[in-house]
Amino acid sequence: MKLKVFNKRATKRERAWVAEACGTTEAYLYQLGGGHRKASPALAIRVEAATRMVARGTGGRLSAVPRESLVKEPQIFDPQAPVALELAL
């Protein structure tokens, strides 16, 4: 589920809980959902975990927001992607 859809379907309390659990604000979650901002990898992981927790108790009304949909470079989460360790040397 996209964050924009999650924000639209979630109750005020659910959105507030996700924002608090992620250490951000509801306004910033709306900016992420609207595509006006991109999340850091750490925030994307927290959003995915928090939305998964909320979604569990909704009987299918909500589902988790995948972290890949929130960042500029989603391939950073791909376990099969080659890591550029040569650049660090």
Q: Tell me the per-residue pLDDT of 18-72, one tens digit each, with 9 for 90 and over.
A: 999 999 999 999 999 999 999 999 999 999 999 999 999 999 999 999 999 999 9
pLDDT reported for residue 77: 82
Nearest to 70 by CA among 21, 31, 26: 31
Length of the chain equals 89
| Cα–Cα distance measured from residue 17 to residue 11, given in angstroms and rounded to the nearest whole number | 10
pTM score: 0.85
Q: What pLDDT is stored for residue 88 in this prediction?
A: 43
